Amino acid sequence: MAEAKFYEPIILSNCWKGPIEDVLNPSRFRWHQQVKSLNLLEDSPLSLEGQVVLLGYSSEYENRRFAIKDEKDDRSLKNGEQNLQEVRKALSELYWHASTQKEMFTIYDAGNIVHHEPRSAKALEFLSECVQKIRVEQGFPLILGGTRESNFGVGRGVFQTLQESSQKIGFITVSSRLGLAESPAFKEEAFPHGENSLLCLADLAREEDRPFHAMALGVRKAQNQKASYLLADTLDLSYVALESWDLFDFRSLENFMTNVDQICLSISLDVFNESVACGVNQPNPIGLSLFQFYPVLQKILASEKVASLEITDYNFSRDRRGQTARLIAQLVFWITEALKNQ
């Protein structure tokens, strides 16, 4: 695999730890007693069919860019890897519930992909290869802690697994931002559209001679350029406004999912209200609660078409008392509960 220098295999004892109430009875176990390690640079002797594979993706540059600079608060000095450490800490304390459908259901931790540059095409290429490997082995890649750029790496990895298949991929992003605003400051050859991963994915679909299907949920009007909405129309990208979320009746989402074979789901934490998600790069004063989002998440997962999932935009330096890390842990818990019973 290319550019393995970005990859850091997990050492379970360093981050998966917590209280132990029983060492023999699985019904009293917590997550840290059940998670297993997986090194993606080595050939797995086990089948990943139906299993969840956690993979951290972190840009130390992005973490420093959005960090709160406070000399009295050493969290501003923490690097991107601390984001992933805090999420695993929150996950460790969850109680484990065995699957009723899959007796051997397992969650693997495949470690982290960490890079230090503003934009790293090579790190994204490596992310794509990791996602492709997990999918080829029939596992479910769950990417944690990424930035919006990781959408492109994950989406490309799923694209690469299709090869000659005629299956259609749909991209669902849950974020307050459409992610279509041009960012000249971040343009380079590998990122012709700057931070706009959806535009990059649209280009990739065109290169692969495949239709481009995308839907954005929770878009906040005040946080997006007018140009982004005009561009969304040209891409035939449907969206649900955050301001009209309570009127969301699922029909548009159901129609979208009916017309695709596989779904790449990306959840940006900036869609949630800052009262529950303060640890994001751009806190949202009118964002969703977890219970507003839960029925939508259930509906998407119930389609049994989700091929990959990522939770992005976490920033430890802005998190208070681990609140946002616990929100991520709750999301991951709901996701794995749905997947293991499919």
pLDDT tens digits, one per residue of 278-328:
999 889 999 999 999 999 999 999 999 999 999 999 988 889 889 999 999
Whole-angstrom Cα distance, residue 25 to residue 336? 21
**Tokens in use for 176?**
């307050």
pLDDT tier for residue 225 given thresholds of 50, 70 and 90: confident
pTM of the predicted model, to two decimals? 0.91
Of residues 72 and 203, which shows the higher confidence score?
203
Surface-to-core class of residue 17, CB atoms within 10 Å of its CB (0-12 exposed, 13-18 middle, 19+ buried): middle
Residue 53 has pLDDT above 70, yes or no: yes
β 36-37/169-174 pair status: unpaired
**pLDDT attached to residue 189:** 47
Percent of the chain with pLDDT over 90: 51
**pLDDT attached to residue 100:** 59
Residue 68 has pLDDT above 60, yes or no: no
Residue 53's beta-bridge partner residues?
108, 141
Q: From start to end of the chain, where are the E strands? A: 7-8, 36-37, 52-59, 107-115, 140-146, 169-174, 213-219, 238-241, 262-268, 306-312
Highest mean pLDDT among 109-123, 147-161, 269-283: 269-283
Average pLDDT (98-113) is 81
DSSP string, 161-218: HHTT--PPEEEEEESS-------GGG-BTTBTTTT-HHHHHHHHHHHTT---EEEEEE
Which residue has tokens 């969703």?
288
Q: What pLDDT, in 10s, does the model give residues 260-274?
A: 999 999 999 999 999
Whole-angstrom Cα distance, residue 317 to residue 78? 7
**pLDDT attached to residue 339:** 92
Whole-angstrom Cα distance, residue 134 to residue 97? 24
**pLDDT attached to residue 186:** 41
Domains of the chain plus CATH, in order, are 4-340 (3.40.800.10)
Residue 187 has pLDDT above 50, yes or no: no
CB atoms within 10 A of CB 236: 11
Whole-angstrom Cα distance, residue 233 to residue 211? 15
